[in-house]
Amino acid sequence: MGHLQQLFRLQQIDTEIREKKQRLSEVLQAQKETEALLAARQRAETAVATLQKHRTQHKQLTDELNSIVAKRKRSEQRLYSGNVKNPKELSDLQHEIESLERRRSTLEDQILEAMIAIEEAEAEKETAESELTTIENEWQNRQAYLKEEQHTLALRLHTLAGERQKCISQIPEELLNEYQTLSQRKNGTAVAQLKQNICQGCRLTVSEQQIRDARAGKKVHCNNCGRILYSG
Ligand SMILES: [Zn+2]
């Protein structure tokens, strides 16, 4: 294998390494939780908290209602017991019973509202959790593919690293240095293939002389982009 051919092989290896590394970084990025998944989880958590809040409220209102009902019962028993003779005390008892009755009515309305709120919160929780399950399942399925791709990419990159090592050991140091300098200046592509008189690095037609030299196996640079031309 001539040095130019080896240099072109090195270019192919480096191009593939660059592409595989780019894809690997995308694959790793895609394994993070998506916005949709995070939003669905947030919605489900909010729904659970809202339901809990309404249930607590319902319990507090019900407890208060029970205590009001019991208190009114005691006051009524006392009022009708015949033991209270003092008109002021009888009048106070009657007022207290009326006041408790008003409070009871208000509480019953609030309990009804709380029950409606609980029903709505339960429906929202169910919807949110079902949506979260769907999104989580899709995400999990995708993860399996991504893990597999990550593994394949890692193996390929390992192989390429070995091939690269072997390849550069056969290229003269001076040529290798030129390749590396050019590669840095030309977005990672130092060697361009010459196909139908067109440099594949810049897509422009190169001169007749350069085509002849490249075909003869001489090291020539594209007169447009400066890359080393390879006619293989
Ligand atoms: Zn060119």
Say if residues 121 and 54 touch (Cβ distance below 8 Å): yes
Cβ burial of 61 (10 Å; 0-12, 13-18, 19+) is buried
pTM, entire model: 0.69
Which among 137, 78, 66 is positioned nearest to 103, based on CA atoms? 66
- Please provide residue 229's backbone torsions phi and psi, each rounded to the nearest 5 degrees: -90, 135
For residue 211, name the pLDDT band (cuts at 50, 70, 90): very high
Q: What's the pLDDT at 84?
A: 87
- CATH entry, 31-168, from 1.10.3470, 1.10.287, 1.10.12, 1.20.1250: 1.10.287
* pLDDT tens, position by position, 19-48: 999 999 999 999 999 999 999 999 999 999
CA of 121 to the centre of ligand 1 (A): 66
> What are the structural domain ranges in the chain?
1-30+172-232, 31-168
Q: What is the dihedral of CA 152, 158, 162, 164, to 10 degrees?
A: 80
Token pair, residue 76, equals 């009524």
CA of 190 to the centre of ligand 1 (A): 10
* pLDDT tens, position by position, 43-62: 999 999 999 999 999 999 99
CA of 171 to the centre of ligand 1 (A): 22
CA of 201 to the centre of ligand 1 (A): 5
Give the C-alpha separation, 122 to 6, whole Å.
Answer: 69
Give the C-alpha separation, 71 to 78, whole Å.
Answer: 11
Enter the CATH code of domain 1-30+172-232.
1.10.287.1490
Which among 65, 196, 48, 203 is positioned nearest to 132, based on CA atoms? 48
CA of 99 to the centre of ligand 1 (A): 95
- Mean predicted confidence (pLDDT) in 84-94: 93
Q: What's the pLDDT at 2?
A: 86
CA of 159 to the centre of ligand 1 (A): 30
Alpha-helix residue ranges (DSSP H) falling in the chain: 3-30, 35-79, 87-168, 173-185, 208-215
CA of 221 to the centre of ligand 1 (A): 8
CA of 193 to the centre of ligand 1 (A): 9
Same CATH fold, 31-168 and 1-30+172-232? yes
C-alpha to C-alpha distances, 142 to 21, 82, 131, nearest whole angstrom: 20, 79, 17
CA of 228 to the centre of ligand 1 (A): 8
- Asked if residue 159 has pLDDT above 70, the reply is yes
Q: What's the pLDDT at 230?
A: 95
